[in-house]
Amino acid sequence: MIAVDLNDRLPAITQRTLSDEDLAWNFDGHTDLGDAVQIVLMWPEGIWTIFLPPTAVRFSLPMFPDELASARPSGGLMLSSLELVDDDAYDGWVKLVSDGSFPIDEAPDFPDQATRVRYSGK
């Protein structure tokens, strides 16, 4: 028999909005079970993977000086994914940042550990 504790679920990501300069969202519950918010932004010339604390509800694109204009996201900015991540390999945001980060889909295989991800709806 398998028991499922629905009180141990990650909250859903809701009210997602994306503009040319920032991304905002909300959660339908507490994020204290999460280790990080992972965002993947894409545009025709590039991709960014961003990690934020699990309590974050907004990300604004950084300002770039003219010398780095080629690194600025250009037209066609798309949100590839927005996820709340809980990973057994980490014990919260501070541990994730101190160990360095990696995209969850490239995480090393840790025996007896699990990664839970809650994706945003479209």
Instruction: Share the mean pLDDT of the chain.
Output: 77
The string of pLDDT tens digits covering residues 30-67 is 888 888 898 988 888 888 888 899 999 999 988 878 88
Q: In what order do the strands lie in the sheet with 58-60?
A: 13-18, 22-27, 58-60
70 pLDDT above the threshold of 70: yes
105 pLDDT above the threshold of 80: no
What one-letter code names the amino acid at 26? N
What one-letter code names the amino acid at 100? G
What 8-state DSSP symbol labels residue 27? E
Bigger pLDDT: 8 vs 116 = 8
Q: Is the dihedral of CA 59, 47, 71, 21 positive or negative?
A: negative
Which tokens belong to 118? 């809650």
Ranges of beta strands (E only) in 3-122 are 13-18, 22-27, 36-43, 46-52, 58-60, 78-87, 115-119
What is the set of domains in the chain, with CATH numbers?
A: 12-119 (2.60.40)
Helix intervals (H) in 36-122: 93-99
121 pLDDT above the threshold of 70: no
With a pLDDT cut of 90, the percent of the chain lying above it is 11
What pTM, to 2 d.p., does this model score? 0.75
